[in-house]
Chains A and B, each alone.
Chain A
Amino acid sequence: MDSGGLARRWWVMSQESIFDEMWGREGSLRDPYRRFSGWLDGEDPKRLRAKQREAEDLFRLTGITFNVYGRAEAEERLIPFDIIPRIVSGAEWTRLSRGIEQRVRAINAFLFDIYHGQEIIKAGRLPLEMISRNEAFLPQMIGVSPPGGIYTHIVGIDLVRTGPDEFYVLEDNARTPSGVSYMLENRETMLQMFPELFARNRVQPVQTYPADLLRSLAACAPENTGANPTVAVLTPGIYNSAYFEHAFLADQMGIELVEGQDLRVVDGRVAMRTTRGYKAIDVLYRRVDDDFLDPLNFNPESALGVPGIMDVYRAGGITIANAPGTGIADDKAIYSYMPEIVEFYTGERPLLGNVPTWRCSEREALAYVLDHLDELVVKEVHGSGGYGMLIGPTSSKKELAAFRQKLIARPSNYIAQPTLSLSTVPIFSRAGLSPRHVDLRPFVLMSPDGIKITPGGLTRVALKKGSLVVNSSQGGGTKDTWVLED
């Protein structure tokens, strides 16, 4: 980012107008919300409040919880659910999904290239040190070709909206994106509580996701696998924050949920210990990070992985989804090169925007960031979950000063972006409808058979007034996301 001017324009623009997805400036209702609003007007707020509580009870009973790290062991919490859906028109969605598909194809091609010829570096479009000095780059993957050529079987693209046609990618999640169980359970809950809404609105279904996922994973099985590949989900265990989701997906797909201790390498295959002996696995949907996957090849301390699984993988004996080493594609420093990456591999202009990003490793960028710290969002390059980030405009002088020290000490650990004015969608609060900032994570499945994007995705909402942090670990909630059939 060389021009401070662009960023300033952005900043000013975003301060002026917050885009609300339900109501326009003069309080006019936007089209996708028309029918919903008609229904809402006829509802007794008391009944809705009761429904809101009912939803929470339902979630608690189903056990849709996440574990909070750093608190008492296995403390399980609910992610707050808001009953007002976020509604997107079919036309909007079609445009969006084209952009998402383009981006996911580019990411997959980028990964193949990075672990093979590195043409993008030879072409001078990406500096070599972005790869060579990047801890997310996995040397063990050099020259390895995953079955079907697929690296990113499941991708979550985090999008934010700032205007009617303005969507930006905030983050690509190419490792093991989570949240899809909330997308499914939110819809299930809405269907149970407000069946009448779905009679009035033609909402595109999300319920096929588990079946689509299984089909997509099976299509990525190693070459000589029979007609019915054995697929399993690998979880770190019941204390993992997303354990509910791992169990949920395995259950919905009707496949085994395994832990590292259930697996071992037997006769050159990765096999699970059943009551009748060891059974080979063809495709492993792992929800364990690269580093913990194989104590022989990565972190030797890991008790969550399978010793030797990487050797089986390299020999073509198993499909690991997502492939090891995909983290390089969702690294926040690489993110700033995504427009180049998309163009390089697709030969097209990117359909989805990138948020302007300063790489603090660059001297000029750092100087700019330090000068404008109170306007910017600063993130750790490898961070996630909203931890370790600074939101300039809402931070105190003391917080800014402390962050400045961290930034100066390790500039290459950070990137900075303008504070986006995320769009708002109303939530149902004590005071009635109140606008809150949202983002959107659609889920994308990729296999040799093609790319499938579930219409909608997970809408996360910052429940605190004015807050821009939507992460569940930081007090965010979720909403059902509707894509209408136009």
Chain B
Amino acid sequence: MLGKTANGLFWMYRYLERAENTSRLIETGQRIALTRLGASAEEWRSILETAGVYSGYASVHDTLSKEAAIDWMLRDPANPSSVLSSIAAARQNARMVRTALTHEVWEATNSAHMRAQELLSRKVGERDLPGVLGSIRQRAALVRGATHGTMLRNDIYDFARIGTFLERADNTARILDVKYYVLLPSVSAVGSTVDNVQWETILRAVSGRGGFRMEYGASAGPREIAQFLILDKRMPRSLAFCLGKIRDNLGYLDGDSGQRSPALAKLDHIETTYLSHDIDAVFDFGLHEFIQKMLTLLAEIGRQIEIDYRFYE
């Protein structure tokens, strides 16, 4: 496979995942605003930060408002990570790697883009927001489904998966990075309304409320939430799960060549050093420091994969 094709696949799936994650964040923010609990502009700031688009927002907007924040995250072309920009970028990459995709995957991607353009051609009102967001996530799910159901399990698929899980791990880490303080034992006055809302925000942002309740019970607190999002290998958006998937796929790639790549070595190191202890160890290390470290390591893995598989040179 061409290095360029690997690069295109990796980014196509990163952008698809990003579109989905951003739409989930918007939904979370909107939901909190509706419940009138902690529905301040500050909340939108933390949502923008979680999506990694706050500085961009602040460079064109003087004030923080719900409408402006939603529009920025949803459809502003000046925001390269807006839902619309992400879907357009995913499709652009898909065009570049068209020969590596099945018809079904290409058509699902192309029609996701066509639909997003249609839905996001003008500002989306509050009333339409849930429908629009739902529709976009559905389209992204169709691409994932087509990928799952029609693509050969070869290096093409491996790069698609690596892109997906690297983006997802990054997203989960950023959610934790912005909200880590509400999970710290020292601050959490158990049962306070504010904290409950904050915890709920975190779980909603990873579509994990149901799963969490099922596995940890309704009264579980911040420690369990941290455990769930960082170490729980059953949770498909946890760091441990995502990194495990990246490791598997890097392993398949190495299996094809019979050589162990530096990226895989790095990943093994992360898993043994940071993800094979229990959650107490994470808190001992310092939750914030831990998350910061993970974000740095994720970026390093991405760079190493670029080098190992000749994305650019």
Contact = CB atoms under 8 A, between A and B. Distances in A.
Interface of A: 60-63, 238, 243, 247-248, 250-251, 256-259, 261-262, 272-277
A257 B99 contact: yes
Contact of B4 (A63, A243, A261, A277): A261
Interface residues of B, number: 23
A63 B3 contact: no
B2 A243 contact: no
Contacts of A250: 99
Given A243-B95, A257-B99, A275 B1 contact: yes
Contacts of B49: none
B200 interface: no
Looking at B96, B98, B103, B106, which has the most chain A CB atoms within 10 Å of its CB?
A: B98
A277 B261 CA distance: 13
Contacts of A261: 4
Nearest to A256: B2
Given A61-B107, A274-B310, A256 B3 contact: no
B6 interface: yes
Interface residues of B, dominant DSSP: helix
Interface string B79-96: 000000000000010011
B95 A274 contact: no
B196 interface: no
Contacts, number: 56
A61 B110 contact: yes
Contacts of A243: 95
Nearest to B259: A276
A273 B99 contact: no
B114 A273 contact: no
Contacts of B309: 275
A288 B107 CA distance: 27
Interface in B100-123: 103, 106-107, 110-111, 114
Looking at A274, A275, A276, which has the most chain B CB atoms within 10 Å of its CB?
A: A275
Interface residues of A, dominant DSSP: mixed
Contact of A273 (B2, B103, B257): B2
A277 B307 CA distance: 11
A259 B111 CA distance: 26
Contacts of A277: 310
A62 B108 CA distance: 10
A241 to B, nearest CB: 14
A272 B4 CA distance: 10
A262 B111 contact: no
Contacts of A275: 1-3, 6, 155, 253, 309-310
Given A243-B95, A251-B99, A257-B99, A274 B111 contact: no
Contact of B99 (A60, A247, A274): A247
Nearest to A60: B114
7 nearest A-B pairs in the assembled complex, by CB-CB distance = A247-B98, A275-B309, A251-B99, A273-B3, A250-B99, A275-B6, A257-B99
A155 B99 CA distance: 24
B310 A256 contact: no
A368 B137 CA distance: 67
B2 A274 contact: yes
Nearest to A243: B95
